[in-house]
Structure 1
Amino acid sequence: MKYALPYISYTQINTYLNCPHEFWLTYYSGDFTPISNKYTELGSLLHEIFEEQGRQLIEGKSMPEKEAIRIFNKKYFQIDKKYFSDKEDWLKMYKKGAEAIKNYFEAYRNSPPIFVERQFFGEIAEGLPPAKSFIDRIDGDPNDPSSWIITDYKTGASPKSKEYLKNDIQLGFYASQVFAEFGAYPKALQFFHPVPNKFQTAIHIGDGIYRFTNQREPVVEFSVSDTIMTIREVVKKITEEQDFHKVPDSFRCKLCSHYQSGACKPFDSSQLGWLNV
C-alpha cells in the first residue's frame, strides 16, 4: 500500500496521531464532508483579517484597527446562527473575536512581516512524501532564514499546555521545511494566541533543537530530528502496517465530523478494535 495522498501535511500527521481511524475516514475513505462550528468560523475569520492586515503592511499600506473591526462585524454577522446556543453565546464569541483583533493590533500594528501564508512544498527527508504547509506569518530578514520568526495563530481561548507543546509536531514540521528549502533553521517558532494575548515561543538553541521561553522547570524542548522520526513512524503505520484503529475519547470524538455525521461510532464496543485495509 502506498501513501495515497500527493503530499503530507501537519494536519494529516496530527489527525493520525490523535486517531488513526479518523485519518482513514478523512483522507482515505473518500467520504469526508467538513463540519463547521462557531470555533472554526471565528478562527477562519480572524485568520483572514490578520492575513489581509499583514499583506497591506508588506505593500507599504496600513489597515486601521477600525477597518479590521468593520470587516469583522460585517462577516461575523453573516455566520449562521445555528452554531450558537442562544444570543448570549453569540455575543460571548463576538467579544472574543473583537478582543483578539485588539490584541493582534497591539502586537503587529506597525510591524510588517516578510511573508504571510507562505507556502512550503518539498521533501523534508529521504523516503518521505513531499511536505506541504502554509505558514501564517514570518518575520525577520528576508535574505537570512536563520533570523526568521515563524508564527502560527491559535484563536482558542487559552494557551497550549506543556503536555501539548511537548507532543505536538507543528512547529518542528515547519522548521524542517525551512531547513529543507534554505539549509538553515529559523531563529524561533511560536504560537500567538490573540484571545488571551499570549505568545508561546521556542528559540533555536542549535542543531535543530528548540526550547520554549518563559516556562518554569521542566522547560519543554523539541527537535526537528524527533519530528521527522515521528512522521516516518506515522507514514510507516499507514503504508506498511495499515493500522487505522479507533481511539475513543469523550471530548475529541464529539467534536469530530465523522461522529457528528454518524460515520463513526467510537463508543460502540462492537466497532472497537483494528481496521485493516
Structure 2
Amino acid sequence: MEFHVIDTGNFMVDGGAMFGTVPKVQWSHLYPCNKDNYCNLSMRSLLVDTGDRVFLVDNGMGNKQSESFYADYHLNGSGELIRSLNSAGYKPEDITDMVLTHLHFDHCGGSVFYNADRTKPELTFPNAVYWVGKAQWDNFLNPNRLEQDAFFKEDMMPVFEADKLKFIDENKELAPGFFVRIFNGHTPGQILPFITFKGKTLVYTADLIPMAASVQPDWISAYDTFPLISIHEKESFLKEAAENGYILFLEHDLYNECCLVEQTEDGFRAGKTGLLKEFTE
C-alpha cells in the first residue's frame, strides 16, 4: 500500500469561525493568525494506492467559481490538484475511487471542471466511482440554513447525472484495509477513511479534527452544524485514537500533515506531529 499527499492549495478563514467558542487568547497559541484574524489552512488530499485500486480522498476547491469568490478566501500556496497528482506519478484517469468526506466546496470542488469555453462540465476522474455519505447527499440536495452557502450544485450534479455516485449509509469496508465510518456532527453523513497497513491505522480526519490544534473534544468550529454531536463524536474518537495509536491525517493543518493523540491528566492533546512519511515509512 502506498500513500501520497496531494496538495490542492491553501485558503484563509476567520480564526473565530474555526475555533468557535474557544477564546483567541487560547487557540492563537496553537494555531497562528494574521492581523485580520485569518488563519491559513491547507486543502490536503490523500492518495492511497492499494495495488488493485487507487483511492483519492477529497479534492479541494476546484476552479469553477468566480474570481471574486476565490478572492474572499485568499487562495494561496503552490498546490494544485492535477499538478500534485502528476508529481506523485498519477493521472486523473488512474483514480478508481474518489472518496468525498463531505460536500462542502473546499472538499469536493475538484470533482468536476469546465471545458475551455465553460459550456460543458467534465468529470475530473472519468474512471472513478465517487463515494459519498447518503445522509450528506440528501443534505446537499436540501441543505439546512447553516450550510446552504457551502454547497454548489455544479460540484456534484454532473457526477450524479453520469451515474458515478455510490452512497454509504453505514460503516463499510470499501477494499481490504480501507474502511469508512460515518460522523454526523460537522455535517450529516461525513465519512472518514480508516486505513490499516503494517499493523497501523491511518485516519483521514477531515472536519472532525481539521488541525492538530483541534485535538480537544470541545474545540469545535462554528461550521459544525450539530455541535453537541461533534463534541461527543470527538471525545469518543480521541479516546479510541489514543488507546490504539491512530495516525491522524490532517486535511486543514497548514503546518502538520499528521499527528498522534495523547491522553493526559488534563485531557487529550496532540502528541507527535510531522509529515505523513515520518509515520508510514
TM-score (norm 2): 0.30
| Structure with the higher fraction of residues in helix conformation | 1
Tell me which of the two structures has the higher relative contact order, counting C-alpha pairs closer than 8 angstroms and 6 or more residues apart: 1
In terms of Rg, which structure is larger?
Answer: 1
TM-score by length of 1: 0.30
